[in-house]
Amino acid sequence: MEIMSGSCRLGLWYIRVSWSGKMIHQVRFATTGIPGDVPPLIKKFSSGQLVDLNFFDSVAIQNDFVYSRIYKEVRKIPYGKTRTYGEVAAMADTSPRVVGQAMARNITPLVIPCHRVVSAKGIGGFSPSVEIKEYLLAMEQKAIHKTITRQKSIQE
């Protein structure tokens, strides 16, 4: 299957995606976009809609190495929730430092939502900018709030 690439906006940033079918090969944040298509679910996510990106597969979890175990645990973190490096480490039977290294090397952020992994003492790091992590976490909280508000108004 042919690997396609494209980008879409995420606030002031662009999300660049390389993908084929359900397989995501790479996700990168950049200050400039590239022409091409992006999977519709990623476009919806980047526009602030509550979307479950677990529909996609990631090349980063195709083996059984320690990083793959960590990534599989990180994928279980619900939309709008966070876990600490230590909590993820306990779930993946490794150390918080190794979890941090795995998050820094994550080639498919969003699909493996490393922005949901935070430090016990604060937000933690994020490449290329911690502002993106802050934006993503706030965006998810806003989407959850909208969904809850909408559900309450339907029930009334």
In 3-state terms, what secondary structure has residue 50?
coil
In terms of DSSP H, where are the helices of the chain? 40-46, 66-74, 85-92, 96-104, 130-155
Selection from 115, 16, 36, 30 nearest residue 75 by Cα: 115
Is 8 an annotated catalytic residue? no
Measure CA 143 to chain center.
15
Local structure of residue 5 (DSSP, 8 states): E
**Distance (Å, rounded) from C-alpha 92 to C-alpha 69?**
6
Selection from 45, 37, 28 nearest residue 6 by Cα: 37
**Distance (Å, rounded) from C-alpha 142 to C-alpha 51?**
13
From the list 42, 110, 114, 136, the catalytic residue is 114
Positions annotated as catalytic residues are 114
